[in-house]
Structure 1
């Protein structure tokens, strides 16, 4: 069996942390390894507990979740980050994704979907609440300048890299992409890595966001 996904909870509300800990520790394949009450505590908590995934609140007293995510993702071999919040303003969503978050969920997301999101993000797949994804797509459709920049970026990709980027934008997993494009999963992973490096992106979520901006 594969080792459990190690999760760090970051929220200034102790009751929220307790509820998440109870829910996630009861899920198969997940282990809550630590907690932090503010973004300022995240670096030390990450060093102490080596999480695979961080569930990050947005609004905290000292260091907010966006700043904490950006700092965390700038570290060597950083964990994946899922923002879990009650604040779903468009600007919050975009800031979180650009900071390097791999997921954005609302706190009223059903428990089973939060568990699924943790597992999927740990495996390298993005996870957004359906409503959040719709809003991102609508906003991207009305950003002409961003569209042109995204199209220029996509134009630097090889045809095979573009095919993989399109599939990632459509939410396909590595296994699904491999089946659709008749290549091995290892080759898909290599193409994703090349795309991230070539476009100076942090994760698959940002590839998908760029893909939506470019109209892929």
Structure 2
């Protein structure tokens, strides 16, 4: 029996995937969450074998959540289900530890096949992005990510996303359970590493590099 958790910030999407997957006797949906941060807490209790994960979500995006899950819940294999086919998103997902990547315009049959494949320990890549994966990994096209972004710590990436989503220092401190002074220190370090000088520049960078999106 494959235990599945669904992570997406749209309840109708979570419900639709649940209804679809639960038609199959070898798949059980054991939990869901509406953002990456909640997914970390839920996964620790639900012990899913496969996590169907969106990429663009408020609070903590799917890429960050995937990276954290690979450390905190290594038995959970992440299948990214996203509308993004850009190389940046695909490459970040697999570097974060994802075991599969599927576009949201896939058929229901392909989603079920992808879940089963990932549960079996296979890497699943949908046909819509296979060219992207080949370019980025087999042909070894140089990484296009900003060098400073690669140097950010996991905490700094969390703070960057929350800043870009319009949270002030007090809100970020509450969400991350740290003090405001620590948030300010993280912000200063992020700006120094990225060589950026304003919240507006940080926001543009975060959107461009896939930390958050204008849709959130």
TM bracket (short chain): 0.5 to 0.7
Runs of 4+ in structure 1 over 4 Å off: none
Equivalent residue number for residue 36 of structure 1: 33
Equivalent residue number for residue 137 of structure 1: 134
Is 1:123 matched with 2:109? no
CA RMSD of aligned residues (A): 1.6
Q: Shift of the alpha carbon at 1:44? A: 1.2
- Residue 108 and residue 8 in structure 1: after superposition, are their counterparts in 2 closer, same or farther (change >3 A)? same
Whole-Å separation in 2 of the counterparts to 1:7 and 1:141 = 30
Unaligned ranges ≥5, structure 1: 147-216
Q: 2:59 aligns with which of 50, 59, 62?
A: 62
Unaligned ranges ≥5, structure 2: 144-216
Is 1:79 matched with 2:76? yes
**1:25-44, Cα deviation, whole Å (9 max, x unpaired):** 11231010000000010121
Query: Which shows bigger deviation, 60-69 or 38-47?
Result: 38-47
How many residue pairs match? The answer is: 143
Whole-Å separation in 1 of the counterparts to 2:118 and 2:64 = 20
Is 1:18 matched with 2:10? no
- Secondary structure at 2:72's aligned position in 1? coil
Whole-Å separation in 2 of the counterparts to 1:19 and 1:76 = 25
Q: Shift of the alpha carbon at 1:126? A: 0.7
Whole-Å separation in 2 of the counterparts to 1:115 and 1:75 = 25
Equivalent residue number for residue 107 of structure 1: 104
Whole-Å separation in 2 of the counterparts to 1:42 and 1:145 = 32
Whole-Å separation in 2 of the counterparts to 1:127 and 1:103 = 4
* TM-score, scaled relative to structure 1: 0.63
Q: Shift of the alpha carbon at 1:74? A: 1.1
- Secondary structure at 1:105's aligned position in 2? strand
- Secondary structure at 1:34's aligned position in 2? strand
Whole-Å separation in 1 of the counterparts to 2:51 and 2:75 = 10
Q: Shift of the alpha carbon at 1:76? A: 5.1
- Residue 76 and residue 61 in structure 1: after superposition, are their counterparts in 2 closer, same or farther (change >3 A)? closer
- Residue 141 and residue 9 in structure 1: after superposition, are their counterparts in 2 closer, same or farther (change >3 A)? closer
* TM-score, scaled relative to structure 2: 0.63
Q: Shift of the alpha carbon at 1:12? A: 0.1
Whole-Å separation in 2 of the counterparts to 1:145 and 1:85 = 23
